[in-house]
């Protein structure tokens, strides 16, 4: 996630350095000309449910101006004086990325990505707008389902079972004279031959399979 | 070995950093776990939503499409299609808010398309698909005369939109457009030199009818709009009324397809009809002044429908227009609860095999709309609910059995609170209440007084106090009681002749005087409003559970400036209200509470804020006697209206409780909160050229009149939304400079020592608090904000934010905590590092895909559970849900795994038995060895 | 004596307004003070003195007022006994020529308890016009005779703080630092898997070895559970 952000950030910097535009901070309302913002909204996947156009509308600056979708998804927002507008697609099921549209007093349009933190950065997007859904809304949490494995690997359960095993099994081993001897040997081994531990490990890893089968046999015998 | 050690140390260091990050992560994860996330299977379990369209402005039956429906356009700037059979919304388009979306004309439905004209200058013409509600075309009308948009009349016919503008002293300009493409087809000027600013004109297409002259000598002039060569025809009032009619006359165009107008005379006592045509035909018949008229055509025959309303009976009398021959088979009379002085706004009378059946769409005075078919009411919609002005959420009464047990406890509690009760009076009270109980019991057994019929069995308090009653006051003066479980309307009540306080943006005030905990006294709510005619105050009391009026409408005879609910109760647990009139006189309602009010008058203060003069004043009641309350001014200040305009005066929720008095810092010391219950936030917006786009926020102690803090934002503008709670204020505004919505938050602290540990007094505390402040970027436009509230204030606070995109966001206050550290090294418990932008998490949207539009307010109310807060959002839609800001820590989660715990317990039990057996076996074996 | 008070008032006011100047305008301000001691709802105002703030930005002020006469002190005492309020009316005249009347009050006993020491706070709005004149006194509450009949008046001039703005600069810097750190970290962190995670692996291995050494069966079980 963080990496993703930083990548975008880098991209921003590159774009912003190469950009010549300077944003007019406050457009003077000298011209009373009104403009029309145009664009198209695409539904989520092609098999969108019927009537998605009805659920969707386009909003400029949080509801100052509205645009409604035609059947093919195109929209216009009319009666817009020059200025800067955040165009958002309002749909309860899908997230759309908002776009900032700037109309200068001469009626020139420019669309760019919305960056509320670095307001001077400009990444242009094509105009007329093409609003594509990013992802469907996920309003709900997924309910946890009860599974045996979840239960067994629950740390609490593991903590209970492991000591139980140790308690039950270790005394049995200790009774066995052969293993006791082996144990002592191992203790000496681990105590004084620290650097060669890797060898032990490798031997263990390579001989793991064998040991296991042996262990099973041993267990059978004991029973 | 050395490098090993070094790398080890490095790793330890790294590990520590990791731990730091981990801590953040844990906090963050904890945080988002805290926010209420819904599971998909909980949809609709404790929330509901209702859609409305608002008061009908234009309506039309769509008889052209395959699916018959009704198209409506409303005062709330909504265009919608309603199902003919059920009244449900088929589709709904919400246009821009306020002036920018105001619908000026709707038409073309009979031709199979739907054209609307909306907005200000220039107006937007939109053509909609009748069946689906998609937009087909949209174009703006270029308007030359900007200030005359309200004089423009619109006529939509045969795919052409006519824009009709009277030009004073010269002519009527008719501009025709193609309603689909917006092409200008023709501009005509029809000479009409008689039109002045005072001339009253109505459109009776293709004519414009204007009334000229004073009340004694009036002349009706008719202008044919599409014939430039024609001369205006004139009809004198005498030819319509005959001799003896008195002015003032009033002109009205009669709804329906025909060009017919009605003229009322004799101070609206009677009216007559004029058929407009090449030869105007007056109908020589008097019609009562208050009848609503509609003309419908059946088989090319014009039928006049007169609707009158008297004593709850709506009568529609049909007669042939030209002959005045009554048509009894179409006339109907209906009595229904949801009709109140209705008018027919749309009507169709198709001829079917059985004969003519008429369908009338009736719009009532209380904004409700109903469909009448023949003489049966098919459905009714309570459109008053689209414009709610006051909300209270009230506990339901206990069931009878619980009441018996609880009554005693309740009284003991109240005795504890007020220690002045002596033993004797306690006993009397007890005996008295028991007698009362016995009486009601006997009554119910003998069924002497039948149980109130509208009291339902399921309307009782539940275990956790989650089932409540929402009392709503609408701008139409209609009150509703809605239960919270399903959103069902339990009762409705009309209060006629009231309006909101015009000085306070049409607010109506609702107080709960007595809750439902004081059996056998009924709960009581009181409504404060203005009389529609005189503007004087009125008081209306009612039972919020049953919706029955208690004292009825009381006219006060003075104008109300301020009001206040007392916190002390009378003997019958009724909290009086103090009403402050415009002559600074204090009244108590009910009168019986005067003595109680006077007993606390020494410490009672009232403050007033006047938006027009900018004067804020505080009054003390300390010179009151037990007979009369006397106010005297103790402070006054001026927010000069030359520089600023008061937009918000926000005090804290009076029922709020603050559980924790301080905040633990990282060094384990405590920073004490500045909790001043008398603190009021005042927001003003700058006026004039130099102060435009400034926002001032003042924190004022309204008891001492001392300013606590003030802050100013430059280059910002509204809409401003303020939340004031505990020791913090959160407000949102639009930053003009950076062009984004921002949320600023202020937090007040007394410091490391608390000035008074028991009770806060505004008069003794002179030290100004420390104010922490921070601003955040909010990536969405805000419609409304409100804080959550719980019974004891232990649960952390969240802010419910209604977004412009229809979502309701639950924003943890922690996210807007001004103490969020910018430097991540400084850490405190429960404080997340500062980030300039507040993220909007999808799972914190509590209304999921149930978008609500045009939110005008949010009401929060505590439930019986400390963890849970009830949220009611109103606007064009109603939405109710409950939230648990700190998760439901006081009840088991509803998905609690009962099976698991049973299985585990059983397994443990069994295993202990088995091990016991095994152990004994082992001991036995050992013994054998 | 009198000059000392003035001096104090100067000091206090200068120190209080030194912080966060948001005022674009400067000007002077004159307050004429009237007060009322009567224990009735309708106040009877008598003149108390005047305050001149020569510069609202610096808050420098001069207070000119006479001492209280004995009948006034007696009135004040009765007022304090009845828990009444001392009321002060201030008529402010600004450099723009506006005249605004303010009313403020405080419990009379605080004035007696603090020996006629009070603080007059003048709040200005962003246009440097006075919006609030309020009086306060540190107290404590008392109904005794004050030691002196001279006022000790401090004048404090306050104006709005500038509103907070979202701190984007630090955040952007932080992001940049983080990015740089990661770039460096990524360059450095190309050690092998074992080298990076040895501290997690070793304890696990020790455990495995120990358990397998003690008993192969237990070791197997432990290992398997760990792997999963």
pLDDT grade for A221, boundaries at 50, 70 and 90: very low
Which chain A residues are closer than 8 Å to B96 by Cβ? 63-66
What confidence tier does B2 reach under pLDDT thresholds 50, 70, 90?
Answer: very low
Q: Are the C-beta atoms of B141 and B105 separated by less than 8 Å? A: no
Order the strands of the B301-310 sheet from edge to edge: B255-256, B292-298, B301-310, B313-320, B332-335
Q: Are B717 and B736 in contact (CB under 8 A)?
A: yes
Structure tokens at B73: 């356009």
The span from the CA of B418 to the CA of B412, in Å, is 10
pLDDT in tens, B444-455: 777 655 444 445
pLDDT bucket at B858, cuts 50 / 70 / 90: very high
The count of residues in chain B is 929
Neighboring chain B residues of C93 at a CB cutoff of 8 Å: none
Q: Which residue has the higher pLDDT, B801 or A28?
A: B801
All residues of chain C having their beta carbon less than 8 Å from the beta carbon of residue B715 are: none
CA distance A122 to chain C (A): 16
Residues of C in contact with B835 (CB under 8 A): 171
Range of the domain at B435: 398-446
pLDDT per residue over A43-91, tens digit each? 887 655 677 888 889 999 888 889 999 888 899 998 888 889 999 999 8
- Judge whether B595 and C5 are in contact, CB under 8 Å: no
Strands (E) located in B726-834 = 728-735, 740-751, 770-778, 782-787, 798-803, 808-812
The total of structural domains in chain B comes to 4
Which of B7, B687, B712, B815 to probe the C interface (max C CBs under 10 A)?
Answer: B712
Contact B848 A139 (CB under 8 A): yes
Chain B CB contacts of A86 below 8 Å: 739
Read off the CATH number of the domain in which B181 is found: 2.40.128.630
Using DSSP bridges, classify how beta strands B233-236 and B270-275 pair: parallel, antiparallel or unpaired. unpaired
CA distance linking residue B77 with residue B65, whole number of Å: 24
- HSE value, Cβ hemisphere, 13 Å, CA-based, for C10: 9
Select the residue of B101, B134, B736 nearest A70 (Cβ to Cβ). Answer: B134
- Map out the domains of chain A as residue ranges: 11-136, 141-194
Quote the CA–CA distance of C182 and A9 in Å, as a whole number. Answer: 13
Instruction: For chain B, report the end-to-end CA distance as a whole number of angstroms.
Output: 54
pLDDT band at B25 (very low <50, low <70, confident <90, very high): very low
Minimal Cβ distance to B849: which of A26, A84, A139: A139
Examine the fold and report which residue of B778, B800, B826 is the final residue of a domain before the chain moves on: B778
End-to-end, the C-alpha distance of chain C in Å comes to 87
A76/B805 Cβ within 8 A: no
pLDDT at residue C67, rounded to an integer: 83
Nearest alpha carbon to residue B723 among B776, B681, B684: B681
Task: Please tell me the least confidently modeled range out of B1-10, B639-648, B682-691.
Answer: B1-10
User: CB burial class (10 A; 0-12, 13-18, 19+) of residue C140?
Assistant: exposed
Residues A26-33: contacts with CB under 8 Å, at least 24 apart: A26/B736, A26/B737, A27/A82, A27/A83, A27/A84, A27/A104, A27/A105, A28/A105, A29/A81, A29/A82, A30/A105, A31/A81, A31/A82, A31/A105, A32/A81, A33/A81, A33/A82, A33/A107
* Per-residue confidence (pLDDT) for residue B38, from 0 to 100: 73
The separation between the first and the last C-alpha atoms of chain A, rounded to the nearest angstrom, is: 54
C133-154 tens-digit pLDDT: 999 888 788 888 888 888 888 8
What count of other Cβ atoms lies within 10 Å of the Cβ of residue B99?
A: 11
**Cα(C10)–Cα(B453) distance, rounded to whole angstroms?**
75
User: C interface mutation test: which of B17, B20, B836, B837 has the most C CBs within 10 A?
Assistant: B836
Residue B625 pLDDT greater than 50, yes or no: yes
Lowest mean pLDDT among A172-181, B200-209, B615-624, B650-659: A172-181
C-alpha B26/C-alpha B18 separation (Å) is 12
Q: Which run of H or E residues covers position A12?
A: helix A2-18
Query: How far is C124 from chain B, CA to nearest CA, in Å?
Result: 9
Chain A neighbors of C216, CB-CB under 8 A: 211-212, 214-215, 218
Which C-chain residues 177-196 have CB contacts (< 8 A) with chain B? none
- Is the pLDDT score of B294 beyond 80? yes
pLDDT of residue C7: 36
Task: Measure CB to CB from residue B711 to each of C43, C161, C167 and give the nearest one.
Answer: C161
**pLDDT at res. C189:** 56
DSSP class of residue B807?
-
Decide if A53 and B134 are in contact by the 8 Å CB cutoff.
yes
Whether the pLDDT of residue B170 is over 50: the answer is: yes
Give the tokens for residue B513. 């005087």
State phi, psi for B342 to the nearest 5 degrees.
-80, 160
Cβ of residue B848 closer than 8 Å to a chain A Cβ: yes
Q: Is B558 exposed, middle or buried (0-12, 13-18, 19+ CB in 10 A)?
A: middle
Residue C215: which of A2, A117, A179 has the nearest Cβ? A179
Q: Per-residue confidence at C226, pLDDT binned at 50, 70, 90?
A: very low
CA distance B149 to B288: 33
Asked which of B722, B751, B778 is the last residue of a domain, the reply is: B778
Q: Is B476 exposed, middle or buried (0-12, 13-18, 19+ CB in 10 A)?
A: buried
Give me chain B's average pLDDT, please: 84
* CB contact at 8 A, B254 and B273: yes
Q: Which chains touch A (3 or more CB pairs under 8 A)?
A: B, C
pLDDT per position as a tens digit, B375-410: 788 999 999 999 999 999 999 887 765 665 565 555
The residue behind tokens 């804290």 is B652
- Who's near B404: CB < 8 A, 6+ residues apart? B437
Nearest neighbour of B696 by CB, restricted to C87, C121, C125: C125
Q: Which of A117, A119, A180, A223 is the mutation pick for testing C, counting most C CBs within 10 A?
A: A117
Tell me if B706 and C139 make a contact (CB, 8 A cut-off): no
Q: Which residues of B touch C158 (CB under 8 A)?
A: 707, 710
> Would you call A26 and B842 a contact, using CB atoms and an 8 Å cutoff?
no
Determine contact: C125 vs chain B, CB below 8 A: yes
CB contact under 8 A, B836 and C103: no
Q: Say what the pLDDT of residue C41 is.
A: 84
- CB-CB: which of B633, B766, B835 is closest to C103? B633
Identify the pLDDT of residue B878: 94
- The answer as to whether B843 is a domain residue is no
Min Cα distance A53 → chain B (Å) is 7
Looking at the DSSP bridge assignments, the partners of residue B404 are: none
The band of A188, judged by pLDDT with boundaries at 50, 70 and 90, is low
Average pLDDT, chain C: 78
Closest residue in B to C161 (Cα) is: B711
Q: What is the pLDDT of residue B421?
A: 55
Average pLDDT of B505-523? Answer: 86
pLDDT confidence bin for C58, thresholds 50/70/90: confident
Tokens 């950076």, residue located: B738
User: Could you report the predicted ipTM of this complex, rounded to two decimals?
Assistant: 0.80
Reported pTM: 0.82
B 8-47: CB under 8 A from A: 37-41, 43
The reply to whether A135 touches chain B by the CB within 8 Å rule is no
Its CATH architecture, for the domain A11-136, is Sandwich (2.60)
* Nearest chain B CA: its distance from C158 CA (Å): 9
d(CA B836, CA B839): 9
B750 vs B506, more confident: B750
Grade residue B30 by pLDDT with cuts at 50, 70 and 90. very low
Q: How many CB pairs (< 8 A) connect B and C? A: 149
Among A152, A204, A223, which would you mutate to test the C interface (most chain C Cβ atoms within 10 Å of its Cβ)?
A: A204
User: Which of A9, A162, A197 is nearest residue C222 as measured by Cβ atoms?
Assistant: A162
Separation in Å, CA of A117 to nearest CA in chain C: 6
In the prediction, which pLDDT does A64 show? Answer: 86
User: B41 to chain A: which residues are within 8 Å by CB?
Assistant: 143
Residue C217 structure tokens:
């069966």
* pLDDT tier at A21, thresholds 50, 70, 90: very low
CB neighbour list of residue B201: distance below 8 Å, 6 or more residues apart: B153, B166, B195, B208, B209, B210, B211, B251
How does pLDDT run across B338-372, given as a tens digit for each residue? Answer: 888 889 988 888 877 777 888 899 999 889 999 99
pLDDT at res. B408 = 54
pLDDT at position B50 is: 93
- The residue from B734, B763, B778 where one domain ends is B778
Q: What is the pLDDT of residue B777?
A: 93
- Asked whether residue B217 is domain-assigned, the answer is no
Q: What is the 3-state secondary structure (H, E, C) of B66-77?
A: CCCEEEEEECCC
Nearest to B135 among A70, A92, A138 (CB): A70
d(CA B69, CA B585) in angstroms, rounded, equals 55
């Amino acid at each position: 996630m963080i990496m993703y952000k930083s990548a975008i950030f880098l991209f921003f910097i590159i774009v912003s350095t190469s950009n010549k535009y300077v944003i007019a901070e406050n457009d003077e309302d000298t011209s009373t000309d009104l403009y029309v913002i145009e664009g198209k909204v695409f539904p989520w996947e092609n098999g969108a449910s019927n009537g998605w156009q009805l659920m969707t509308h386009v909003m400029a600056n949080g509801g100052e101006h509205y645009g409604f979708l035609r059947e093919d998804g195109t929209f216009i927002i009319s009666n817009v004086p020059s200025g800067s507008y955040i165009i958002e697609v309002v749909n309860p099921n899908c997230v759309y990325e908002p776009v900032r549209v700037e109309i200068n007093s001469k009626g020139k349009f420019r669309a760019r990505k919305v960056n509320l933190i670095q307001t001077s950065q400009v990444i242009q997007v094509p105009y007329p707008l093409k609003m594509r859904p990013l992802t469907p809304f996920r309003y709900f949490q997924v309910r946890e389902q009860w599974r045996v494995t979840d239960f067994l690997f629950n740390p609490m359960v593991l903590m209970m079972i492991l000591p139980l095993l140790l308690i039950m099994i270790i005394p049995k081993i200790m009774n066995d004279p052969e293993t006791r001897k082996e144990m002592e040997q191992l203790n000496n081994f681990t105590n004084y031959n620290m650097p060669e531990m890797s060898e032990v490990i490798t031997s263990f890893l390579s001989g793991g399979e064998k040991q296991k089968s042996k262990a099973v046999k041993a267990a059978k015998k004991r029973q | 070995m050395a490098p090993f050690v070094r790398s080890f140390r490095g790793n330890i260091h790294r590990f520590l950093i990791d731990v730091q990050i981990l801590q953040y992560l844990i906090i963050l994860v904890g945080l988002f776990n805290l926010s209420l996330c819904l599971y998909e299977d909980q949809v609709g379990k404790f929330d509901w939503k209702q859609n409305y369209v608002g008061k009908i402005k234009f309506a039309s039956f769509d008889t052209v499409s395959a699916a018959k429906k009704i198209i409506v356009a409303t005062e709330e700037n909504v265009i919608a299609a309603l199902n003919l059979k059920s009244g449900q919304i088929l589709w709904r388009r919400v246009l821009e808010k306020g002036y920018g979306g105001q619908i000026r004309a709707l038409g073309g439905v009979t031709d199979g398309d739907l054209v609307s004209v909306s907005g200000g200058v220039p107006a937007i013409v939109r053509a909609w698909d009748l069946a689906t509600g998609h937009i087909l075309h949209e174009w703006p009308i270029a308007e030359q005369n900007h200030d005359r948009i309200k004089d423009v009349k619109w006529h939509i016919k045969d795919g052409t939109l006519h824009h009709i503008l009277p030009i004073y002293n010269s002519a009527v300009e008719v501009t025709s457009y193609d309603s689909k493409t917006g092409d200008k087809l023709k501009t005509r000027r029809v000479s009409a030199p008689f039109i002045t600013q005072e001339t009253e004109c109505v459109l009776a297409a293709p004519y414009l009818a204007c009334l000229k002259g004073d009340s004694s000598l009036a002349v009706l002039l008719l202008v044919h709009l599409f014939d430039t060569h024609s001369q205006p025809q004139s009809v004198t009032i005498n030819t319509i009324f005959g001799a003896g009619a008195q002015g003032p006359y009033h002109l009205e165009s009669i709804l329906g397809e025909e060009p017919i107008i009605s003229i009322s005379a004799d101070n609206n006592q009677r009216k007559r009809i004029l058929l407009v045509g090449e030869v105007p035909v007056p109908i020589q018949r008097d019609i009562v002044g208050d009848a609503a008229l509609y003309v419908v055509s059946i088989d090319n025959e014009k039928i006049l429908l007169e609707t009158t309303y008297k004593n709850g009976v709506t009568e529609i009398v049909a007669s042939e227009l030209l002959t005045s021959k009554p048509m009894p088979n179409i006339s109907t009379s209906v009595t229904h609860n949801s009709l109140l002085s209705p008018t027919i706004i749309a009507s169709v009378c198709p001829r079917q095999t059985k004969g003519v059946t008429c369908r009338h769409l009736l719009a009532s005075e209380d904004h409700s709309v109903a469909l009448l078919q023949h003489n049966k009411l098919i459905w009714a919609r309570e459109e008053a609910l689209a414009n709610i002005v006051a909300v209270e959420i009230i506990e339901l009464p206990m069931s009878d059995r619980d009441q018996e047990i609880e009554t005693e406890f309740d009284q003991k509690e109240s005795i504890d609170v007020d220690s002045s009760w002596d033993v004797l009076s306690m006993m009397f009270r007890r005996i008295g209440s028991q007698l009362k109980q016995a009486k009601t019991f006997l009554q119910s057994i003998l069924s002497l007084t039948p149980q109130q019929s509208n009291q339902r069995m399921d309307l009782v308090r539940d275990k956790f106090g989650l089932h409540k009653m929402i009392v709503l006051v609408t701008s139409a003066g209609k009150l509703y009681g809605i239960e919270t479980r399903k959103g069902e309307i339990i009762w409705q009540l009309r209060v006629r002749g009231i309006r909101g306080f015009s000085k306070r943006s049409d607010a109506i005030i609702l107080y709960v005087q007595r809750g439902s905990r004081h059996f056998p006294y009924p709960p009581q709510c009181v409504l404060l409003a203005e009389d529609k005619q005189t503007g004087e105050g009125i008081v209306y009391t009612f039972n919020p559970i049953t919706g029955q009026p208690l004292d009825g409408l009381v006219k006060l005879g003075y104008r109300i400036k301020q009001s206040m609910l007392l916190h002390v109760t009378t003997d019958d647990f009724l909290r009086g209200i103090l009403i402050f009139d415009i002559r600074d006189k204090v009244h108590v309602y009910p009168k019986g509470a005067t003595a109680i009010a006077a007993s606390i008058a020494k410490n009672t203060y009232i403050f007033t804020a006047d938006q027009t003069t900018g004067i804020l004043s505080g009054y003390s009641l300390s010179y009151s006697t037990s007979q009369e309350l006397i106010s005297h001014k103790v402070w006054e200040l001026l927010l000069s209206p030359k520089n600023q305009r008061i937009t918000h005066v926000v005090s804290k929720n009076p029922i709020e409780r603050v559980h924790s008095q301080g905040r633990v810092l990282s060094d384990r010391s405590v920073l004490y909160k500045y909790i001043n219950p008398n603190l009021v936030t005042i927001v003003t917006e700058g006026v004039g050229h130099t102060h435009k786009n400034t926002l001032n926020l003042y924190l004022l102690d309204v008891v001492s009149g001392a300013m606590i803090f003030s802050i100013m934002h430059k280059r910002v503008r509204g809409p401003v939304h303020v939340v004031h709670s505990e020791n913090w204020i959160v407000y949102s505004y639009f930053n003009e400079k950076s062009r984004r919505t921002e949320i600023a938050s202020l937090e007040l602290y007394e410091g490391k020592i608390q000035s008074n540990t028991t009770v806060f007094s505004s008069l003794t505390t002179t030290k100004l608090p420390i104010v922490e402040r921070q601003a955040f970027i909010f990536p969405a436009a805000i419609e409304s904000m409100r804080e959550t509230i719980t019974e004891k204030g232990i649960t952390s606070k969240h802010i419910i934010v209604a977004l412009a995109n229809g979502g309701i966001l639950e924003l943890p206050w922690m996210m807007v905590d001004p103490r969020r550290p910018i430097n991540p090294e400084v850490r405190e418990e429960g404080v997340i590092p500062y980030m300039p932008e507040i993220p909007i998490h999808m799972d914190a949207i509590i209304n999921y895909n149930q978008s609500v539009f045009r939110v005008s307010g949010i009401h929060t109310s505590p439930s019986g559970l400390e963890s849970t807060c009830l949220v009611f959002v109103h606007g064009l839609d109603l939405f109710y849900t409950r939230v648990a800001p700190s998760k439901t820590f006081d009840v088991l989660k509803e998905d609690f795994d009962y099976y698991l715990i049973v299985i585990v317990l059983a397994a443990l039990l069994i295993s202990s038995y088995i091990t016991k057996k095994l152990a004994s076996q082992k001991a036995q074996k050992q013994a054998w060895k | 004596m009198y000059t000392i008070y003035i001096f104090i008032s100067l000091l206090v006011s200068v120190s209080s307004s030194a912080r966060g100047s948001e005022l674009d305008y400067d000007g002077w301000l004159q307050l004429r003070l009237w007060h009322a001691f009567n224990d009735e709802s309708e106040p009877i105002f008598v003149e108390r003195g005047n305050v001149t703030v020569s510069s609202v930005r610096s808050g420098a002020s001069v207070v000119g007022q006479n001492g209280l006469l004995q009948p006034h002190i007696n009135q004040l005492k009765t007022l304090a006994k009845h828990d009444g309020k001392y009321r002060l009316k201030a008529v402010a005249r600004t450099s723009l020529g506006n005249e605004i009347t303010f009313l403020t009050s405080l419990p009379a006993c605080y004035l007696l308890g603090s020996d006629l020491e009070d603080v007059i706070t003048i709040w200005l709005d962003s246009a440097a016009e006075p919006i609030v004149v309020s009086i306060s006194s540190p107290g404590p509450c008392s109904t005794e005779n004050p030691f002196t009949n001279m006022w000790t008046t401090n004048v404090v001039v306050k104006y709005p703080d500038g509103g907070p703005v979202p701190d984007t600069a630090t955040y952007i810097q932080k992001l940049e630092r983080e990015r740089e750190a990661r770039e460096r970290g990524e360059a450095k962190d190309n050690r092998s898997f074992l080298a990076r995670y040895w501290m997690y692996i070793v304890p696990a291995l020790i455990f495995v070895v120990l358990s397998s050494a003690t008993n192969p069966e237990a070791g197997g079980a432990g290992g398997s559970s760990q792997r999963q």
